[in-house]
Amino acid sequence: MTAGAVFVADPAAAQMHDMHGMAMPATPAAKKPAAKTPARPKSRIVRKTIRAPSAAAAATKRASSPEQPATQESHAAMPAMAPGMTMPSAAACPPEHAAMGHCTLSPAPGQGPTTPVGTDQPAGNAPPPAPPTTLAAARFYDPATMAAANRAMRDEHGGMRFSQILFNLAEVQVRNGRDGYRWDGEGWFGGDIHRLVVKSEGEGDFGRSIESAEVQALYAKAIDPYWNLQAGVRQDLWSGAKRTYAVVGIEGLAPYWFDVEGSVFLSNRGDVLARAEAWYDQRITQRLVLQPRVELNLAAQDVPASRIGAGLSSTELGLRLRYEVAREFAPYVGLSYTHANTATARYSRARRERSGDADTGGLAVAVGIRGWF
């Protein structure tokens, strides 16, 4: 290529790049090896020729050819495209042009703007849509078969019947005087909402009659996920006055995982009693559990036949450490302290003096087993 051609090519390339205000990007082509020419002194023009891209040469040829005016006229005849212009169809707006913002694809027929649905809607207080009430299987099975299947499904997902028998206390108490025993347990049968509950507790001395014993038959109804309301009857079984009581109580799990029970008793003689119990299982390891426990018994009046004094008739504080060989079987050792108020102690003392034992409570060492099945 001569130096004259180079000087002609530069204005032509500049004219093409500035034509109608359209910036035509220069696309560099693959470099071709330079043709061998006779040795000549290196000059600035030669160096420029070597560095010039082949696009400039192509532009020079187009400028010198007779077809160049027609090409310019065709470019001039094209309408100017403003950025964001909506083209009449997808064919007139290629995807690569739409990606650069030169034009916007027109929606296909029947796919115009629609009302937002689902999560595309703005936040608000509108009620949720009603759940579907039709089942696909109902198209193939008769209503009686579908009703039986729905009943079975509900029973298998929360409507089953369960049962459990738990002895929270079953122990021997070594006291300063005569050794004794004590039990406290319950069993229940039912579902998550309705249950039949049977409770029993009592204590006595070895070699003597039972000090106290009772059994309760209760109906329990869940009033929330953690609490049950209970109502039923209680029957005393010990050797003293065998009273029958109406029972209303509550049982559940208090915050911080405290098991709580509370009951009010009304006897067939008009006696009003109450009882409150609470305990907490503090896990020391996966198998070693420490259980503090408290039980309070109250009476609205003196009941001499049952050896109960008015007010806070008796208090029991306990601390038991158990080792769970299995979750269902755990031997334990602990301490139990029992205190009776003045009237209750007086009634118990009179009975025990008649039997030759004046012990009315105090500290005891407890050894027992906690189990359930």
DSSP sequence for 4-73: HHHHHHHHHHHHHHTGGG------PPPPPPPPP-------HHHHHHHHS-HHHHHHHHHHHSTTHHHHHH
Q: CA–CA separation, 6 vs 357, rounded Å?
A: 131
- b/e map of 49-61 (b: 16 or more CB within 10 Å)? beebeebbbebbe
pLDDT for 146 equals 92
> How far is CA 366 from its chain centroid?
40
pLDDT along the chain (373 residues), means of 10: 42 45 48 51 46 50 49 47 48 73 66 69 80 82 91 83 94 87 96 94 87 94 96 89 94 96 95 96 97 96 87 94 97 94 76 53 92 94
Tokens of 234: 């209680």
Strands (E), 207-347: 210-224, 227-236, 244-254, 258-267, 272-280, 282-283, 288-299, 311-323, 329-340
pLDDT for 102 equals 74
Q: CA–CA separation, 87 vs 77, rounded Å?
A: 17
Q: How far is CA 187 from CA 158, 238, 256, in A?
A: 20, 21, 24
> How far is CA 258 from its chain centroid?
21
pLDDT for 2 equals 43
Q: CA–CA separation, 354 vs 348, rounded Å?
A: 10
Q: How far is CA 125 from CA 116, 118, 122, 128, in A?
A: 16, 13, 10, 9
pLDDT for 110 equals 59
pTM to 2 decimal places: 0.61
